[in-house]
């Protein structure tokens, strides 16, 4: 029923100005013009997907990954670029994975995790 419809990722923020700085300037996402309809929602384009960042008192309470970007073989370039813009990557101890700089490497995947200003967990996935 929904397999042909694009999904929209949503993440909560307590501070729209800090979120806008992070999603626009650190991640480099292009903000869409949302008009004045929803003043507490930021809308971004990411490839063919959209991301809504909305104001909520519950921001940062999810302890699981909220958004993933699959960047394929360019993972090191993307991670290095984000780090140069001030992104700080998380380091986790995970069985079957070793850490190479900021990237966790396993047999089948590479992944780097970072948090937005509210503590929402985001990941960059590669090969």
Residue ranges of domains in the chain: 8-57+64-126
At 125, phi and psi to the nearest 5?
Answer: -110, 140
- pLDDT number for residue 107: 87
CB atoms under 10 Å from CB of 95, counted, come to 5
Nearest to 116 by CA among 90, 93, 94: 90
- pLDDT number for residue 35: 55
Full-model pTM: 0.89
Q: In whole angstroms, what is the distance from residue 58 CA to residue 111 CA?
A: 26
At 77-122, the pLDDT tens digits run: 999 999 999 999 999 988 999 999 999 999 889 999 999 999 999 9
Q: What is the mean pLDDT of the chain?
A: 93
CATH number attached to the domain at 8-57+64-126: 3.10.180.10
Q: In whole angstroms, what is the distance from residue 116 CA to residue 106 CA?
A: 24
- pLDDT number for residue 36: 58
At 24-73, the pLDDT tens digits run: 999 999 999 765 567 889 999 999 999 999 999 999 899 999 999 999 99
């Amino acid at each position: 029923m929904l397999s042909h419809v694009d999904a929209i990722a949503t993440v909560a923020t307590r501070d729209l100005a800090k979120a806008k700085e992070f999603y626009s300037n650190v991640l480099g996402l292009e903000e869409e013009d949302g008009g004045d309809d929803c003043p507490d929602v930021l809308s971004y384009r990411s490839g063919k997907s959209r991301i809504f960042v909305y104001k909520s008192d519950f921001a940062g309470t999810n302890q699981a990954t909220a958004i993933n970007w699959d960047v394929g073989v360019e993972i090191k370039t993307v991670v290095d670029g984000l780090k140069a813009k001030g992104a700080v990557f998380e380091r986790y101890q995970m069985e079957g994975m070793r850490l190479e700089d900021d990237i966790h490497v396993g047999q089948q995947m590479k992944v780097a995790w970072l948090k937005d200003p509210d503590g929402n967990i985001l990941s960059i996935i590669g090969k």
